[in-house]
Amino acid sequence: MDGSKTTSQAGGTGTFIIHVRCRQNATWQGEVAWAEKEKRQHFRSALELLKMIDGALDEGPAPPPGAAPEAPQAAS
């Protein structure tokens, strides 16, 4: 399998700390922390956890500490 196609479709990178509190209904429940943005969120299933991580990486990289937030772009 050619890895170049996979690499070209890769999103951003991030550091996530996952704390699995319990396992019920054949899945995980717990909390995930996104280290770069200092955000925490609870999840109720492994699928929800994966969707959270995927959505977080689609947001783009975290701004450097102390950076001013970007203004939204006006639609043309």
Element (H, E) at 16: strand 16-24
CA pair distance 54, 57, nearest whole angstrom: 5
pLDDT given for residue 11 in this prediction? 64
Find all residues with CB under 8 Å of 64, minimum gap 6, and list them.
none
Model pLDDT for residues 17-47, shown as the tens digit of each residue: 999 999 988 999 999 999 999 999 999 999 9
Around Cβ 28, how many Cβ atoms within 10 Å? 19
